Amino acid sequence: MVEERLNELELELVNIEYRKENKEQFLRVFIDKDNGVDLDMCSQANRAIKESFDEQEIPYDYLEVSSPGLDRVLKKERDWERFSGYRVRIKTRKSFPGPQRITGILLGFDSENIAVELEGELLKVPREMITIIRLHPEF
């Protein structure tokens, strides 16, 4: 439902977080577009999502719509393609025999692994061992 409404606005759903904080329900929706999003786009998306939730009587106390930020989560293969060549931080499962946190350049992926350049070396991390991948910009 959220993704459909965003598609109507030519926006991409990046991530949804639903959290309870101090007995209040927060719904955070992260959106993007190839050339980025601005405040007007976030406002339009907020109105469209709110309208849908009100029609469906979906409970929430606070709805936040924003861009995914500089350290956005990379979840989809489309994200991995788009941000190939960018610096990323990967967190791995405890059962992974290598480092639990990996920071390097995203080189690519296949059906089984994510390839990262780590200190000049190629490291292939099995996709099932990854808990999260985020952009990790340098400042």
Going from N- to C-terminal start, the domains of the chain cover 2-66, 77-135
* Matching CATH number, 2-66, of 3.40.309.10, 3.40.50.720, 3.30.300.70, 1.10.1200.10: 3.30.300.70
Question: What is the pLDDT, as a whole number, of residue 34?
Answer: 86
CATH topology of domain 77-135: SH3 type barrels. (2.30.30)
The model's pTM? 0.78
- Average pLDDT per 10 consecutive residues for the chain, totaling 139 residues: 90 90 89 92 95 85 92 92 96 91 96 94 95 92
Print the SS3 string covering the chain: CHHHHHHHCCCEEEEEEEEEECCEEEEEEEEECCCCCCHHHHHHHHHHHHHHHHHHCCCCCEEEEECCCCCCECCCHHHHHHCCCCEEEEEECCCCCCCCEEEEEEEEECCCEEEEEECCEEEEEEHHHEEEEEECCCC
